[in-house]
Amino acid sequence: MGGNDVSSDQVVEKLIEMGFENSDAVEAVKAVGPSVDAAVEYVLNGCGRDNLSSSTNSQPSSRDFKSLGKRVMTSSQCKGQMRQSRIWDHFQSTSKPKRSRGNDLSDGVVSRSQVLHGSVEEHKGPFLLINSQLENVAEPFQVSCTEELDVGSNWESKVNSLLRKHFGYSSLKRFQKEALAAWLTHQDCLVLAATGSGKSLSFQIPALLTGKVVVVVSPLISLMHDQCLKLSKHGVSACFLGSGQPDSSVEQKAMRGMYSIIYVCPETILRLIKPLQRLAENRGIALFAVDEVHCISKWGHDFRPDYGRLSILRENFSARSLKFLKYNIPIMALTATATVRVRQDILDSLCLSNETKFVVTSFFRPNLRFSVKHSRTSAPSYGTDFSQLIDVYARNKKIDEMKQPSVSCEFHCQSDSDNSYASDFNDIEESDDENSGKENGPNSSRERQMSVEYLENDVDIFQHVEDWDVAYGEFGGQVLCEEWNSHGPPETIDPPNKPEERLRILQEPLERGPTIIYVPTRKETLSIAKYLCKFGVKAAAYNAAVVVATMAFGMGIDKLNVRRIIHYGWPQSLEAYYQEAGRAGRDGKLADCILYANLSRVPTLLPSKRSEEQSRRAYRMLSEIFRYGMNTSCCRAKILVEYFGEDFGDEKCLLCDVCVDGPPNMQDLKEEANILMQIIAARYAESSFMDGSCDDFLCSDIDRQKFLAKPNLRTFVGKIREQSQNFVTTELLWWKGLARIMEAKGFIREGDDKIHVQIKFPEPTKRGLAFLQSESDKAFCVYPEADMLLSMRKPTAYSSFSNWGKGWADPEIRRQRLEKIWSSNRKPRKPRKRKSKKHLPDTSTSRVIGFSTSFFFVLPGLKKWQRQQVLIEKLRIISQALEQAEERAMRFQERHDRILGQICSYYMVNQDLEDALAGARAAMNEALEFAVGLRKMQLLILRSIDEVDAFYLG
Ligand SMILES: Nc1ncnc2c1ncn2[C@@H]1O[C@H](COP(=O)(O)OP(=O)(O)OP(=O)(O)O)[C@@H](O)[C@H]1O
Ligand SMILES: [Mg+2]
C-alpha cells in the first residue's frame, strides 16, 4: 500500500481511518514519509506520541497496541460484512450468534481522542454507535481530565442541538440545566426531582458533550436494561455491568472505553476501581452518577448496604489520588424520593464536597389523582374492588378483538413480534384474547397465559443484588431506532400546573392505558392476576394490559402511558408508595393512583431480617403511610410532597379524593377527648396504683411485671365504657382514631419504648394535662379520620377470640349482667358452706392467667362488709386480668397471622418451610391452651360473682 503515489494527506487520512490518532498519524508521516506501512510501523513501535499516559500501571502493553493495529487492519478488510451492533449484543450474547474474534475490537483500548475525533468510524458494534453519536455532536468540547472544561458561553445551545438530534426534545428543563452547569464547573450535585421528570438526561448529556465515559451506579438490572435500550434508540452506546450481565466480555470492553455510558450496580463497581482508574486516564470519565441514590440511606425505603460503600468513588477518583486529574471527577446523585434526613445521609455517605450543588424541583406531580379506599384486600373483596377495572378492560373487548391483529403474547417471543416492552405492555391484550379463544376456550387459555413463568422474576424480600434482577424479554435496538426515527419522540404533554387546568382534566375521562397493581407478596400477584384473567382482563405478564407485581417491579422504568397504579394492601412506606405511584402518568395526562387498604387494621411489616434499629425505622415509616391512609382532611398530594420537605403552602392538587369529595363534617369531640384524657391522666396520677396491695394474688415476678405493665389504649377504653353510658357502644377503632388525633395535637404520647404504627400505650403530656385543666368552653373540633368514619359506618367484626372475650371481660356486659343478677327476684341465698377444696381452681388455669389459688377463697373470719369489699376488689382485679388476657389472646392471634404470612413468603422462596409451619403450630397450640384456660377462668369468675351476689343480698 505504501509508495510515493499517495500524498501525505491521504496517508494521514488512511491512518485515521484505521483507528490511529490524528496527531500520531501526522507525526508518523512527517517522520517516515507518505507510506502507510512505514507510518503504521512507526506508530506501533511507540515512536509516535501515544495518546495514552506514561503511567506504568495504566499504560496498555505493546501487545495492546499490536492487537489494535492488527484489529484495525482486519476490521477495515472486513468492512463490507459489518453490521451495526444491536443493544442485544451487549446484553445477551449467549443466545445470539457470537461475532468472530477477528472482528471483535475488545482487545483494544479506546482513547478519548479516538472517540473525539471519530477515528474508529469503521468498526462495528459499540464503535459505530460512538461514532454515530459523535457525528451528531456538532463540535464536541475538547475536554480532558487534565484540563478545565472548555465550555464556552454557548454550551446551552450545543446541548440543545444534541438534545434535538438524539432525543427529539427542543430544550433542557431548568433543573437539567442547573445540574449540567454544576457538572461543567466540576461541582458535585444532588438532584432531587419528581419521578418521571427527566433526571437521566442530566447525566447522559455529559457523555455526549465530552466523548468521555459516564459511569452510572444504579440499583436494578431492569432499570439499567431499560435505560440502555433507550440510549441505543438514540444512538448512544451503553452497557450494563452486574450480576444480570451474562456476557463477560462486555465488562472488558467497557473498561477499555468502548461504551459512552456504563451502568453498573454498586456491588460490581466496588471491584472495578482499578480498571476504572485506567479508563479515567485513557478515554476519561466525565462523571459518576449515582441514580436512585436514596438507596444509600438507612433512613430511606430501599436501603442497599453496598450503596453505603460508594464513598470509594470520591477516595479513588479525586485529583489527590490520581495525579493526571486536575479536578475530582464530579459525582451527581439523583433521586425522586429523599426526605431531609436521607439527603444528609447522601452527602455524608458519598463524601460529597461542601460546595455540592443542590438541584431541587417540586415533588408535585399535578396530573396524578391520589385516593385511598377501604378494603380487606383479600380474595372476597376482589369482586367489589376490581369491578371497575374489569369494566375498563373487558368492556370493549369484542370490538377490539375484531380490530387487532393476532399477536402472540408469550413472553419469550416478544422480540419476534418486534414490539418493545413498552408497546407490548400497552396494546396486545385484545389480540391475545382472540388467540386464546381459538385455542382452548377462554378460561384454560387465559390461565395458561398467566402461569408463573410470565410473572416478574423477583422476590418479596430482597437483601442481595440478585434479588433485584428482573429478567426482560429480548428486544432489537435497530427496530426501535427505526421506529423512533419515523415517529419521533412519544407524545407527552405538559402536566396541568395551573389549578384551572387541573380542574379541566378532571372532567375528562381517564384514558384506557396500562395498569400496574402492586401487592405485597407474589402469592397475591398470582391470585389477583388469576381473578382478573377469569373476567377477560389480560393480567400478569409484562405484555398484558394489567401487570400485577410486587414492589421490585419498575423503579425508574420510563413507561410513559401507565394510567393506573393500584396498591392493593399497605405499602411499607410513603417513599415506596410515592416512588411506585410515580410510575403513572409520565406522559403528563391524567392518571390514577389508588391505594386499597384495610383501614380498620394497622399495617404490618413484610417479613425480613432486620436489626432492632432497622425495625424501629421500618415501623416509623409504616406509621407514616398509615397516617396518610387515615387522613380525611388534607390534600393527599400536599401530604406527599411535604413529607419530602417541600412547602406546599395553601396549594391543593384539586384531584385527590379529599380535594374532590371534601373532608367529612367537623365534629366537636370535646367530651370524648376530655374523658379519654381524664382516664389516662388518672392512671398516671395514681401513685398508689398497684403499690403491692395485690401481691398476694400474683405468683411470680413475671406475673407481677405483666400485671403492673402499662395499660394500653384498650384498657382505657374499657374504663371509659365502665364510667360513661354515653360511650358504651363506641368502638375501640373509633377511640384509636381519636387517640391518634390527640397524639398529633401533642396531648398524649406513646409511653412504650417500642415504636408502634398506632399509639398503643398512651401517656399524658403537659399540654394534654393543661387541656384537661382548662375550663374554657372552647370546642374541640376535629375531622374524624378514616378509621373513625369506618367504625361509625358498620360494626366491627369480632374475631372468634374477642367474641367470647366480649362476655364478662366487657365492662358494659359485665355491668348489665351484674345488674340483672342484683335486680333479680330470686330470694337471697344464704352463702353455702363449701369445702374449700371444691373451690380450688384448676392450677393449670391459674398458672396461665397468673393468680395464686388463694385468690379464689373468700377469707374466713372477716365481717360481711369486709368480705364484700374483698370480693369487689377481687372482681375488679379479675376484670382487669381478663382485659389483659384478652389482649394477650389478640397478640397470639396476631402472632399466628404473622407466622402464617411468613409461611406464605417462606414458601415462595422455598426456605425453612418446616420451621415456619412448626412455629405456627406451636403458636396455635399455645393460643388454644390459653383459650381453654380463659374459659375455665370465666367459670371461676362466675362463681366469685355468685359469692358477691350472696353477700350483697345476704
Ligand atoms: N428536556 C426534556 N424535554 C422533554 N422531555 C424530557 C426532557 N428530559 C427528559 N424528558 C423525558 O422525561 C421522561 C422521564 O425521564 P427519566 O426516566 O429520566 O425520569 P426520571 O426523573 O429519572 O424518573 P424516575 O425518578 O422514575 O427514575 C423521559 O421520557 C424523557 O425522555
Ligand atoms: Mg430515573
3-state secondary structure 708-763: CCCCCHHHHHHHHHHHCHHHCCCCHHHHHHHHHHHHHCCCEEECCCCCCCCCCCEE
Give the DSSP H/E element, type plus range, for residue 632.
none
Nearest CA to ligand 1 atom 3: 169
Ligand 1 pocket test: which of 586, 587, 589, 593 has the largest number of ligand atoms within 8 Å of its C-beta?
586
Q: What is the Cα–Cα distance from 728 to 719, expressed in whole angstroms?
A: 10
Along the chain (954 residues), what's the average pLDDT of each consecutive run of 10 residues?
59 66 76 77 55 36 34 32 29 33 37 39 28 33 44 77 88 94 95 92 93 92 84 89 80 92 93 94 95 86 84 94 93 93 93 93 93 94 93 67 38 30 31 33 37 30 29 28 52 78 81 87 85 84 66 68 94 93 92 96 85 88 96 97 92 94 94 92 61 46 58 90 85 95 95 89 91 82 95 56 45 60 52 46 42 48 64 69 72 69 53 62 71 69 66 54
From the CA of 172, give the closest atom in ligand 1: 1
Give the model's pLDDT for residue 343. 93
Give the model's pLDDT for residue 863. 64
CB atoms within 10 A of CB 588: 18
Nearest CA to ligand 1 atom 12: 198
Start-end of H helices in 110-192: 112-117, 126-136, 155-167, 174-184
State which residues have CB under 5 angstroms from ligand 2, the bound ion: 199, 556
State if residue 226 touches ligand 1 by the CB under 6 angstroms criterion: no
Q: Is the dihedral of CA 239, 240, 244, 248 positive or negative?
A: positive
The closest alpha carbon to 247, from 85, 33, 53, belongs to: 85
Strands 667-668 and 781-782, by their bridges, are antiparallel
Gap from CA of 198 to ligand 2 centroid (Å): 7
CA 805 to chain centre: 39
Nearby residues of 853 by Cβ (< 8 Å), 6 or more positions away: 840, 841, 843, 846
Ligand 1 pocket test: which of 201, 204, 231, 589 has the largest number of ligand atoms within 8 Å of its C-beta?
201
Grid cell digits, residue 235: 444512538
Q: Do residues 591 and 512 touch, judged by C-beta distance below 8 A?
A: no
Residue 315's alpha-carbon distances to 100, 255, 293, 684, in angstroms, are: 39, 19, 18, 55
Q: What is the Cα–Cα distance from 347 to 214, expressed in whole angstroms?
A: 20
Nearest CA to ligand 1 atom 6: 198
Q: What is the 3-state secondary structure (H, E, C) of 7-50?
A: CHHHHHHHHHHHCCCHHHHHHHHHHHCCCHHHHHHHHHCCCCCC
Question: Quick one: 645 exposed, middle or buried, by C-beta within 10 A (0-12, 13-18, 19+)?
Answer: middle
Question: Quick one: 424 exposed, middle or buried, by C-beta within 10 A (0-12, 13-18, 19+)?
Answer: buried
State if residue 177 touches ligand 1 by the CB under 6 angstroms criterion: no
Q: What is the Cα–Cα distance from 393 to 172, expressed in whole angstroms?
A: 37
Ligand number nearest to the C-alpha of 586: 1
The closest alpha carbon to 907, from 891, 894, 920, belongs to: 920
Give the model's pLDDT for residue 128. 25
CA 68 to chain centre: 46
Give the model's pLDDT for residue 117. 41
Dump the DSSP string for 250-272: HHHHHHTT--SEEEE-HHHHTT-
Angle at 17 between CA 44 and CA 162, to 5 degrees: 120
Nearest CA to ligand 1 atom 16: 198
From the CA of 223, give the closest atom in ligand 1: 27
Gap from CA of 479 to ligand 1 centroid (Å): 22
Grid cell digits, residue 684: 398516671
From the CA of 200, give the closest atom in ligand 1: 18
Gap from CA of 297 to ligand 1 centroid (Å): 24
Residue 248's alpha-carbon distances to 98, 239, 269, 828, in angstroms, are: 13, 12, 15, 93
Would the pTM of this model clear 0.80, i.e. be above it? no
Q: Give the chain's length.
A: 954
ipTM above 0.90, yes or no: yes
Strands 762-764 and 748-750, by their bridges, are antiparallel
Gap from CA of 558 to ligand 2 centroid (Å): 8
The closest alpha carbon to 384, from 374, 393, 392, 394, belongs to: 374
Nearest CA to ligand 1 atom 31: 198
SS3 117: helix
Gap from CA of 486 to ligand 1 centroid (Å): 21
State if residue 218 touches ligand 1 by the CB under 6 angstroms criterion: no
Gap from CA of 545 to ligand 1 centroid (Å): 23
Strands 213-217 and 261-264, by their bridges, are parallel
Nearest CA to ligand 1 atom 8: 198
The closest alpha carbon to 262, from 291, 294, 303, belongs to: 291
From the CA of 170, give the closest atom in ligand 1: 3
State if residue 556 touches ligand 1 by the CB under 6 angstroms criterion: yes
Ligand number nearest to the C-alpha of 191: 1
From the CA of 336, give the closest atom in ligand 1: 25
Q: Do residues 26 and 12 touch, judged by C-beta distance below 8 A?
A: yes
Gap from CA of 358 to ligand 1 centroid (Å): 19
Gap from CA of 516 to ligand 1 centroid (Å): 19
Ligand 1 pocket test: which of 162, 169, 263 has the largest number of ligand atoms within 8 Å of its C-beta?
169
Q: What is the Cα–Cα distance from 525 to 545, expressed in whole angstroms?
A: 14
SS3 548: strand
Q: What is the Cα–Cα distance from 266 to 589, expressed in whole angstroms?
A: 34
Grid cell digits, residue 886: 384478652
Q: Which amino acid is at 820?
A: K
**Long-range contacts for 313-317 (Cβ within 8 Å, ≥24 apart)?**
313/269, 313/288, 313/350, 314/350, 314/351, 314/352, 315/351, 316/273, 316/276, 316/277, 317/276, 317/277, 317/280, 317/285, 317/288
Give the model's pLDDT for residue 401. 52
Q: What is the Cα–Cα distance from 163 to 169, expressed in whole angstroms?
A: 6
Nearest CA to ligand 1 atom 9: 198
Locate the DSSP E strands across 532-665.
Answer: 546-549, 564-568, 591-597
Ligand 1 pocket test: which of 200, 294, 420, 491 has the largest number of ligand atoms within 8 Å of its C-beta?
200
State if residue 222 touches ligand 1 by the CB under 6 angstroms criterion: no
